[in-house]
Amino acid sequence: MLFKAGKKLTLPLQSMSNFIVSARKYRPQRFEDVVGQAHVAQTLKNALATDHVAHAFLFCGPRGVGKTTCARILAKILNCENLTKDQEACNACSSCKAFQEDASWNIFELDAASNNGVDHIRALVDQVRVPPQRGKYKVYIIDEVHMLSQGAFNAFLKTLEEPPPYAIFILATTEKHKIIPTILSRCQIFDFRRISVADMVLHLKNICKQEGIEAEDDALHIIGQKADGALRDALSIFDRITSSAAGRKIRYDDVIENLNVLDYDYYFQLTDALLAEDAPAILNLFDQILRKGFEPDVFLTGLAEHLRNILVCKDETTLALLEVSESLSERYRRQAALAPASFLLSALQIANDCDVNFKMARHKRLHVEMALLKMCYINRAVAAASVQITEKKTLEQPVAAAGELSGPVLTRQTPGEVAPQASAIRRPPSTAAELTDEAMSALKAELRLGLKRADKISLRLEDFEAAVAVEETENAARISRLDLENARAEWTAYAEMNPSPTLRQAMNSAVLYLEGQWLTARVGLTVHRGLIQDELTRLLDTLRARLHDPAMKIRVELDEARVAEIQAAAQQQKPLTIKEKLDKMRETNPLVDDLLQRFDLKLDE
């Protein structure tokens, strides 16, 4: 209230919003409504029908896929007074109504992320000893159970193994590997899957129908792909898009703008330009994409996914792997008919190599542009390589097979040279079994040469014949550089280029050993080993490329001697006494003595 000039002014009360997010509003209340987890729902319903309900369950899987939802449904069914024939809760009895109103005295939910101590678990154990006043079971749902401390797990073990007959525990976690084996062995484990894009789109369509919202299929597919298998994330994105949608209609253009997703059309245009070898159009399209604010690595990932989608459209048996709308699927099929499989595989390899080395590149835009130009001239490189192989075969075998000629055999002779007899002319073998070892080796060499030249698309294709000589020189120089000195140099270079200071420290502290193809890095701290292990895939790809040895392998080990030295040094450091602390304070700050004298302070030993 506000008072002014003797009059009372009241501000109008603003009505509170009754909006409920879709993840809560449309949370499944029955097993048959659970999306994408039919294997879990059916198993639990069978257990209920045969009265084979375990005393402890562990629901594990990614976030937002229905673990806690299934736990709540199971808890409600266990105390339902009038189960249906298909083992679902009636939602009408007093127990079901109390559960729906969050007033049930038999179902308890505990968040282990904030209640992870021993005292919290002991309080829960004490509560388990009290039987239910109404209903058959007391159900305890413990979410994020991997967050419990070691002591809490140990305090929970006995109760979890031998609970009272009326107690049932349902544990949920996103990180099963963090749960100790003694807990895992006491539970029935259910693995929840990521929700497919098709299932999410179908669920979103049903919500749109109930809410009276029009939505384009392509827009819902973008939401499903952005959610990355988590239905809760998809519903959160859906609410966000709905809030910004004009006229309660969800359009594809609005979704990609709101979610900052690059339009499919750019990738289709770029692929058409690649197949047409239109380098200026490719560079201009890439420039447009960068001007829209998209990062080069994000574009590169999207392009690789687009090429992969085209590749799976090359065969009818792999069309199911394409998670896009029907209209978009038709565009992919049309472009797949124009793109050769060899082009797609080579382009995917270039995109992968560009992605692996993107982090190390200084000029990232140029790095991606070079990859695009390589993709642009793939077909020309393969054609030129085929011509070279054909010419080489023609020079090596100038004489046609005698068995294939109906007339006399004509050969070119130089003065003083005797023409070969018909019986001496070599006839090509009719089957692979007739090939001699020498001929087979020559054929394999030609095939390897052709594949290498087809893959070597970074050559200047305008003058391919001159480039072949350069390629042969490079191939001769590309002998494996794997030795200890080169490995140490590349290891140090990778560490210095890495932006993470902790990883640089870990790599610089490692001692390297080389045994055959194995490069062993020994470190003195467990945390250093973990940091290098997390970076191992990218590190291995980089070192293999730099050292020209694709068979090279890396392993990270703890140096037990160095670990013992570090532990011994830590144990030798004795804590300072009070007098030693005071002396150090006096050394660093002369005003300490003045303070002691002014207030007549004395050291309390």
520 sits in the region (left: phi over 0; alpha: psi -120 to 50; else beta) called beta
Structural domain tally of the chain? 6
Question: 269: domain CATH number?
Answer: 1.20.272.10
- The 8-class DSSP code of residue 86 comes to T
Q: Which two tokens stand for residue 2?
A: 């506000």
Question: 531: domain CATH number?
Answer: 3.30.300.180
Q: Residue 316 has what pLDDT?
A: 82
**Short-list 355, 308, 353, CA closest to 335:** 308
Question: 26: domain CATH number?
Answer: 3.40.50.300
CB 316 within 8 A of CB 258: no
**Short-list 38, 36, 107, CA closest to 74:** 107
Which of 577 and 406 is assigned the larger pLDDT? Answer: 577
Q: Tens digit of pLDDT for each residue in 209-223?
A: 888 888 888 889 889
Domain match, 51 and 180 both: yes
Task: Provide the mean pLDDT of the chain.
Answer: 79
Domain match, 28 and 168 both: yes
Q: Tens digit of pLDDT for each residue in 420-473?
A: 443 333 344 444 444 455 555 555 555 555 445 444 444 444 454 455 455 555
Sort 216 into a burial class: Cβ within 10 Å, 0-12 / 13-18 / 19+.
middle
CB 341 within 8 A of CB 382: no
- In a domain? residue 10: no
pLDDT greater than 90 at residue 481? no
Domain match, 282 and 167 both: no
Q: In the listed set 258, 287, 308, which residue is the last one of a domain according to the structure?
A: 258
Q: In the listed set 149, 176, 191, which residue is the last one of a domain according to the structure?
A: 191
pLDDT greater than 80 at residue 94? yes
Domain match, 40 and 172 both: yes
Assign 304 a pLDDT band (cuts: 50, 70, 90).
very high
- In a domain? residue 5: no
Q: Residue 173 has what pLDDT?
A: 92
Q: Sign (positive/negative) of CA torsion 93, 98, 99, 105?
A: negative
- Identify any residues that bridge with 173 across adjacent strands, giving them in sequence order: 60
Domain match, 39 and 180 both: yes
**Short-list 250, 229, 235, 245, CA closest to 204:** 235
> Which residues, in sequence order, are CB contacts of 570 under 8 Å at separation 6+?
none
Residue 163 belongs to domain spanning? 22-191
Interval 146-150 mean pLDDT: 90
Distance from C-alpha of 202 to C-alpha of 194, rounded to nearest angstrom: 15
Distance from C-alpha of 217 to C-alpha of 162, rounded to nearest angstrom: 51
Q: Tens digit of pLDDT for each residue in 369-420?
A: 999 999 988 877 666 556 556 655 565 555 444 444 444 433 334 444 444 4
Domain match, 384 and 342 both: no
pLDDT greater than 90 at residue 284? yes
- In a domain? residue 232: yes
H-helix or E-strand spanning residue 379: helix 378-396
Q: Residue 342 has what pLDDT?
A: 86
Domain match, 142 and 68 both: yes
